Amino acid sequence: MSEQPSAEPGAEVLAAFEAAKGFMPVGEGLALYAAAAEAGKLGLPLLEVGTYCGRSTILLADAARRAGTVAVTVDHHRGSEEQQPGWEYHDPTVVDPEVGVMDTLPTFRRTLRKAGLEEHVIAVVGRSPQAAKVWGGELGLVFVDGGHTDEHATNDYEGWAPKVAPGGLLVIHDVFPDPADGGQAPYRIYLRALESGDFEEVSVTDSLRVLRRLPA
């Protein structure tokens, strides 16, 4: 049973989001939630590429819960390039001491449990291109926030953008037109989406871009 959709998360969900480990600022999180609430009206799954520890998953899961659908989150949970040892975003608390590599899956599961949203999420543990190849249905929303190299961003775009249903939303994070502000791979797939003629821009909130798939 779905609830009346809301463009804003409740206080408890917002508090869980703010408490979760991750990098998304609150303003961009609120924009993501509004997009998920709108896309949820299509009754289709809401999917994100790049789970990390579940900060943004909380928002998608609550929007999916309200809409009577489900959030799907895809990640291998070994960390992206900039999260490896010696890099800016490395966090030693999410390294598996037994094998010596990153493993954000346990933290992610705790994040969802604390937020009370486990049952509204399907966690796909694996590589995005492999998951995209076996995903057969349409999606109400695709949120691209995975690896930020050209290879990974391109794979995420090519694998998942075609699965956005007409009227559904493609959301891309860390879009920086100015190279001085950040990496350019997400910006390049954002431009590619617009140039394809398949998407129109809906909103811009800092580095978060929301695009809608046009009717065929």
| Catalytic annotation present for 76 | no
Q: Look at residue 131 and give its three-state secondary structure.
A: helix
Distance CA 172, CA 206 (A): 11
Max CA-CA distance within the chain? 51
Amino acid (1-letter code) at residue 147: G
Q: What tokens appear for 130 in the block?
A: 């492999």
Q: What tokens appear for 33 in the block?
A: 């939630």
Distances in whole angstroms, Cα of residue 111 to Cα of each of 33, 53, 73, 118 = 17, 7, 13, 9
Helices 11-19 and 26-40: crossing angle in degrees, nearest 10, is 130
> Of residues 77, 120, 148, 173, which has the active-site annotation?
148
Which residues are catalytic, by number?
A: 148
